[in-house]
Structure 1
């Protein structure tokens, strides 16, 4: 194997992931525990798309189909948390190799990993590498790839959707590799050795025509002519009986060659296409106009396979005659089209036509259809003086000449559908491939085109492109820096090739040096230029930008200020000071121009380099912008942050009562999305969560602190329901920093209190106590009795968890008295609940239950379902301790119902735990065990420290069961 392809070998150290068989994770060759089936399925989803975002919706659908549980998102969050812990638990010892990590990226997660550590990727890389090698080396490489299959793909995972989505494709890949390895063996003259193997394979896959053809050829070359013909007749009868079809043209042609003892069969050479006789017996021209194949082409397996399917469908007479490759500037549309065209050129025996339509050429006008037809007609042998003058006449003659021919037509860089339509053949024999920066939807509607949108390259393919286009082996010497460089280029092939050229031009410069230069966003686009050359990412973007309508151009520039990775029409309307319908229309126009993406319905995104380009345009103060770019950017960001404040405040009120002074309910300066209930509120928070986190960070970084800490506070009700611990801690630390810089008394009290809550609920009461103490000190400074009472309730909670019951009781009683004086029944309920916990542990269960019932009534008044579920579970727990099993079951069952209504997974888990305790009291051990197992799975998925409680109960049950 050549040096640049050595990465296809199995990793010797660090992590290795195996999906070609049972799912396995190894570290240093040692098998690692993977947890329950759900966790394994989530890992499999991420492994099949390494270094690419896998949406939360896709994961949920894969795990549960069309009927996921209400807690699906929380359970997935928990699985991700456990997978992160598994990956972090074992230090990677692979030298400079970065350990695999799982990152949160809207709208889901991305597994960053050297894909050579995944056996499916290594298999694909080996199979791709085998293409074009001499037969002996090709056979060896393909044999190596085939050894990676250890059995049926994901044989230990029951997800039927995963099997439908990926297992079938990988099984097909194995068969293709097997057929190619056999083809290499036939080229080497190993036909006698292959007869036995092929006989077994044909029996196993009786409808696979290529295997039958290979067996026929091996039989024929081994002197078994009758067996070769018998195999053909057996397949023909089977196809006729089961499918009602005949063998395909290739197998029929092979059979005819066998019948006439074609001597080319003995050498394994099927011959090459000859010129096709034209009228009068003369040979007609066979144009071969394809540009040279692109050097260092990598990746695009999915798109190449899609083009292959279009070609295969066309051979069956049922496919499209037109494929359109679309995508942003620099994504590699032309490279893909030319590469694929060269791969299949031999199937188009009547020629390959090519035209650069110059739809987005900065120097020359677009090529007219009439001009393109002149070139095509000349290539097809029409004399210049015989070419019709008018466009319709040229198009008619062009269609007539291609009527009985098999020609591939490549139309590169089309501006619009009108430029393409006159160049389409009228007969089914030919195939047209078009590339364009615009989505040519009209060709889909009017001409039945198959649209193939191109996205950027995943990190492994991007690193491989850096190697092939620059200095081979450079990425192996600096693997971490190479992956970082690929990320900074955003996987955009044009940017990657420019970066590779810069490295090649300066052999002494390390990859890390270029990474340092490009890390600064202000220099990145300039760093992706080549002096004295037209090669420039900025120049490629300029051409697309200059074709925009002024209103669309203004919106594009402002999108550079959006902190998150995705945005909706409502957020963009606020950003641009317009209304959502207008914003949506302009966004769709930018999507058509491939300057914006629409990954999900009505949710849009932008490539990182395009975002920087838009930001640079805004900073430069483009002529359409009123005022300076900096002023426009800051004003737009303020509008966006204000929008988030208004909508978050509106949405949070459906989850729990708002108990602070922040109130944007009367604000009508921004248009809110339609949120009319709890489910819609949770859906909005779930979808916008990564953007809200990013917006909080940006507000703090831009010193817009008056937006930062209030926006953090407005997330509290959502955080209490979903419990994303890591994000909770991060944004509240940011909010506390902003509150301190503003010296805002309420902000400091609330931010410290929020940090106390998250550390308390995630199992760190000592840390929680520190933050609660800080919140208490700030509350004392405010002189506000309500803040002081809240801080005391919180202190009581942490002191209780630390076993300091007397102190906890004192703070709870003082807070209770303060709230009663203030007439605040909602917060009085919190003090009663905490006081009841102290009484419960002290043995005064009757008093505890009295206080809990009073708190229950108050939370019902406030319609705080999440906290009501907590209090109901507490009532059930006390009832279990008192031996009142019927009451305990009633409390826990209602807690479960309420928790399901509000979407709180942790409260559901607590209810299942209590229901298990009640069943245990009734000595119904099987039911108790089932409920405890359910609680354990939810607690573990959510990363809750209460998982230990469920685990201890199950261990106790197991010991008791063994002693029976």
Structure 2
């Protein structure tokens, strides 16, 4: 008999801890008093995770659940002190032999030999039994079973422990029992087992393995009818209670009994070099219910298989993606579709790379399981890992297996499990992108994204209550979008609808709409089906530096972020930032959409934000500093970029700050590209700055967008950010901020045709400018007032304001701003019939805007010149002005100025009675104005209608 492994040797003296029954602590075999239930629960929590840090928050949850008392932390500290005193019993023991509770952030660690805790000793015995001869295996497992003294933790009232720990230990006991019976069956103890198994099957009527063992014991005892009757009884129970059939293993056993398969009698044991001649292994997990979509990915796997068949692809394919994205579901679904192409069988191993309860499966353990499946006897399995892998490769040589390795942690876990020849195909799923396997093994990586909305809605229907999406289509789409298309979140949402038939889809949408509570709403009792738990597992594998970066990403207001922005956020440089982000991308916690631009799933963003909110006391200060750095980054880069678009018309200057490493922006086109790409992030940054009371940053960052707004004219965003900017300027009572913010709102309302609102904001800006006593501010306000008064038909007042502003600018020598006053004065002169004077003022403005290289405003004034020229009957001059305006607008990227030029060229064609050309130009203008949401579309449509009536 082989010597007993040291990991299974029972302690003889000192402390011994028992949780497989009522909690008990023994010292030298004598039970020690433990005190109240709270202390007992705290000790149980520490014992179940020996030599690992258990956070104070987890201890509090274990003791009191979701509603702890205000003094919870103090009470926990008291329990720890009492436990330390308890462990001081027997002070003559060597220090290394004694249990110790060590303070280790964010909680405590119980340092103890795990063999002194019965639950861990039982697990060690079960593991040790694998591979032993039947008689020794039976003895070791029987010893393990004696460690259970009754219901696990029967005197502990913690709901958390009974939900998350006790079921696992109950399952371990049943596993040990089944393995012991399997060993006894190998020993031929069939008749005695019939009695024992009959009792067990009555106690666990849905346990298929026990039923199969009872069937086999009866069959080998000559009771074939009884064997078959147990199968029919189980099939009936499964159908009645669960609506399912027995699994493939039990069905196969039943069919072999019907055929009187001689191999069901105890077979002779095989050596490690002999192959199993029994049925081909079929280890794939059951097909996934409610699988939808993924047609592109299924087709990609089909192509990889076809290339593999033709010798054009290697033997390894990988599905990667974030937690809950459906990697395993896709792998299992596709594998079931192609089993017929692998006649030698399918092997499956859950590698537990990201399992919250169990350690990752070692390559050695996985190989042992595969070798047993392939028919190798326990004593024929080599001890050495390399020899074990070599035997595995030999058994697979010249055979065709599909090997599914689910939930791999890293390449080192996968490499020993790869076949040596090309006949078999390996499919791996992992949260990490293992680039090393691409280099070394030619792996084909297929990254999984979230589901599109239509497929997400279909999954909600299939996994929940069919027909819900048809009854509430808009709510179903919104629910799918709130879940971010993440299959795990969608299945949880569907389960909540299915278990609450009276609850409408819109009710769940309302609950998930609150970002602060969304993750909690996507938690359920099953820890393996919780969005937060899935994210937790990925997060806990990160290095502290990368974990900090991930948490801080929860502060990023927008949906994408560059390496430069994250460098500012984390207080580092872009090279370091890029390296950290790519580590997070390998773990599928962020996604690199294009070089140096990343993003993260909405639910991951909320999870990162929650981590910050529940961090240590210094987290709030850290978060505030990080957000401040990010906002300053946007201020510096936006200021730098805006200067390529138009001359600045304020005193804000952040671009000279050399402490911020900016992305490279060259010229007008580069600046426009930067604004176009970053625009959603800039809008979100301003809204966040206002909400988080970074008011100076909020209004200043808003102002820095003005030049871009004048070119691109995103009307709704314009109103949004300037409303936030004005609110911030008012809150800090910043005079220049209030003047500029109210003026910006006046501009957008004026352009949008809402002259009354524009007048209100311009009047506030004018009042603020007067209060500053600065001539330049006042002149700017007067130009704006002149513009809106003109639109309201108050021409005399408009003219007076424009003339006052013109005199001020000339006195200050500010030719650029003088041009604006001239343009507005010309509009008044035009409507008053003084067209020559108006055209002269506009020409002066054209010269000044050329000097300033302000292309957007130059295009506007050239169009105004063309409009006046048409009224003067000078169609050739008008055409020249509008053509030049169109060219300038195309150069600067202003769609609204392009549309105005087409409108003017249509007016020129109408003046020449060339109506077909006029309609083409107007239709072009209408298309641009409508796509930009401009109210001038109504003006163009009126011309087209008039033209149509004239033709009619």
Q: What interval of TM-score do these two structures reach, taking the shorter chain for normalisation?
A: 0.5 to 0.7
Cα offsets for 1:440-468 (capped at 9, x unmatched): 12222332322111122334433443444
Of the three residues 911, 915, 923, the one matched with 2:905 is 915
Question: Does the residue aligned with 1:412 lie in a helix, a strand or coil?
Answer: strand
Distance 1:842 1:499 in 2: 66
Of the three residues 749, 773, 777, the one matched with 1:759 is 749
Contact 1:285–1:379, Cα closer than 8 Å, also in 2:
no
- 1:813 is aligned to 2:807: no
Query: Residue in 2 aligned with 1:270?
Result: none
Contact 1:619–1:628, Cα closer than 8 Å, also in 2:
no
Cα–Cα, structure 1 residues 842 and 559, in superposed 2: closer, same or farther, change >3 Å? Answer: same
- 1:828 is aligned to 2:818: yes
Query: Residue in 2 aligned with 1:750?
Result: 740
Query: Residue in 1 aligned with 2:18?
Result: none
Of the three residues 372, 393, 401, the one matched with 2:366 is 372
Cα–Cα, structure 1 residues 929 and 512, in superposed 2: closer, same or farther, change >3 Å? Answer: closer
Distance 2:656 2:664 in 1: 16
Cα offsets for 1:853-887 (capped at 9, x unmatched): 11111112222111111111212222222233333
Of the three residues 412, 416, 434, the one matched with 1:418 is 412
Query: Residue in 2 aligned with 1:941?
Result: 931
- 1:602 is aligned to 2:596: yes
Q: Which structure 2 residues correspond to residues 180-195 of structure 1 after superposition, within 5 A?
A: none
Query: Residue in 2 aligned with 1:357?
Result: 351
Contact 1:388–1:394, Cα closer than 8 Å, also in 2:
yes
Q: Give 1:548 shift.
A: 1.2
Root-mean-square deviation (Å): 2.8
Contact 1:285–1:381, Cα closer than 8 Å, also in 2:
no
Query: Residue in 1 aligned with 2:321?
Result: 327
Q: Give 1:574 shift.
A: 0.8
Q: Give 1:382 shift.
A: 3.3
Contact 2:902–2:921, Cα closer than 8 Å, also in 1:
yes
Cα–Cα, structure 1 residues 523 and 913, in superposed 2: closer, same or farther, change >3 Å? Answer: closer
- 1:435 is aligned to 2:429: yes
Query: Residue in 2 aligned with 1:881?
Result: 871
Of the three residues 383, 399, 406, the one matched with 2:400 is 406
Query: Residue in 2 aligned with 1:842?
Result: 832
Greater radius of gyration (CA):
2
Larger CA deviation: 478-487 vs 729-738 = 478-487
Query: Residue in 1 aligned with 2:760?
Result: 770
Q: Give 1:421 shift.
A: 2.5
Give the structure-1-normalised TM-score. Answer: 0.67
Of the three residues 581, 585, 596, the one matched with 1:591 is 585
Distance 1:912 1:511 in 2: 48
Larger CA deviation: 937-946 vs 700-709 = 937-946
Contact 1:490–1:608, Cα closer than 8 Å, also in 2:
yes
- 1:574 is aligned to 2:564: no
Cα offsets for 1:137-191 (capped at 9, x unmatched): xxxxxxxxxxxxxxxxxxxxxxxxxxxxxxxxxxxxxxxxxxxxxxxxxxxxxxx
Larger CA deviation: 376-385 vs 656-665 = 376-385
Cα–Cα, structure 1 residues 751 and 445, in superposed 2: closer, same or farther, change >3 Å? Answer: same
Query: Residue in 1 aligned with 2:298?
Result: 304
Distance 2:537 2:890 in 1: 53
Cα–Cα, structure 1 residues 867 and 466, in superposed 2: closer, same or farther, change >3 Å? Answer: same
Contact 1:498–1:535, Cα closer than 8 Å, also in 2:
yes
Cα–Cα, structure 1 residues 728 and 509, in superposed 2: closer, same or farther, change >3 Å? Answer: same
- 1:633 is aligned to 2:623: yes
Q: Which structure 2 residues correspond to residues 543-582 of structure 1 after superposition, within 5 A?
A: 543-582=537-576
Distance 2:477 2:880 in 1: 56
Give the structure-2-normalised TM-score. Answer: 0.68
Query: Residue in 2 aligned with 1:906?
Result: 896
Q: Give 1:372 shift.
A: 2.0
- 1:493 is aligned to 2:483: no
Distance 2:355 2:609 in 1: 24
Contact 1:839–1:845, Cα closer than 8 Å, also in 2:
yes
Question: Does the residue aligned with 2:319 lie in a helix, a strand or coil?
Answer: strand
Question: Does the residue aligned with 1:330 lie in a helix, a strand or coil?
Answer: coil
Query: Residue in 1 aligned with 2:247?
Result: none
Cα–Cα, structure 1 residues 537 and 831, in superposed 2: closer, same or farther, change >3 Å? Answer: same
Query: Residue in 1 aligned with 2:188?
Result: none
Distance 1:602 1:431 in 2: 34
Q: Give 1:746 shift.
A: 1.7
Cα offsets for 1:891-942 (capped at 9, x unmatched): 2222222212211111122223333444555565555444333333322322
Query: Residue in 1 aligned with 2:724?
Result: 734
Contact 1:362–1:543, Cα closer than 8 Å, also in 2:
yes
Of the three residues 860, 863, 870, the one matched with 2:860 is 870
Question: Does the residue aligned with 2:338 lie in a helix, a strand or coil?
Answer: helix
Larger CA deviation: 689-698 vs 663-672 = 663-672
Cα offsets for 1:457-505 (capped at 9, x unmatched): 3344334434444455555565555544444433322233334444555
Distance 1:774 1:487 in 2: 41
- 1:651 is aligned to 2:641: yes
Cα offsets for 1:61-96 (capped at 9, x unmatched): xxxxxxxxxxxxxxxxxxxxxxxxxxxxxxxxxxxx
Question: Does the residue aligned with 1:654 lie in a helix, a strand or coil?
Answer: coil
Contact 2:276–2:376, Cα closer than 8 Å, also in 1:
no
Contact 1:657–1:862, Cα closer than 8 Å, also in 2:
yes
Q: Which structure 2 residues correspond to residues 37-76 of structure 1 after superposition, within 5 A?
A: none
Q: Give 1:735 shift.
A: 1.3
Q: Give 1:347 shift.
A: 2.8
- 1:858 is aligned to 2:852: no
Query: Residue in 1 aligned with 2:79?
Result: none
Structure 2 unaligned runs (5+)?
1-262, 264-272
Structure number with the bigger relative contact order (C-alpha 8 A, sep ≥ 6) is 1
Query: Residue in 1 aligned with 2:786?
Result: 796
Cα offsets for 1:401-430 (capped at 9, x unmatched): 333333211010111223222322344432
Question: Does the residue aligned with 2:290 lie in a helix, a strand or coil?
Answer: coil
Contact 2:475–2:509, Cα closer than 8 Å, also in 1:
yes
Q: Give 1:795 shift.
A: 1.8
Q: Give 1:747 shift.
A: 1.7
Cα–Cα, structure 1 residues 319 and 704, in superposed 2: closer, same or farther, change >3 Å? Answer: same
Contact 2:292–2:455, Cα closer than 8 Å, also in 1:
yes
Distance 2:665 2:393 in 1: 56
Distance 2:403 2:276 in 1: 24
Distance 1:652 1:715 in 2: 7
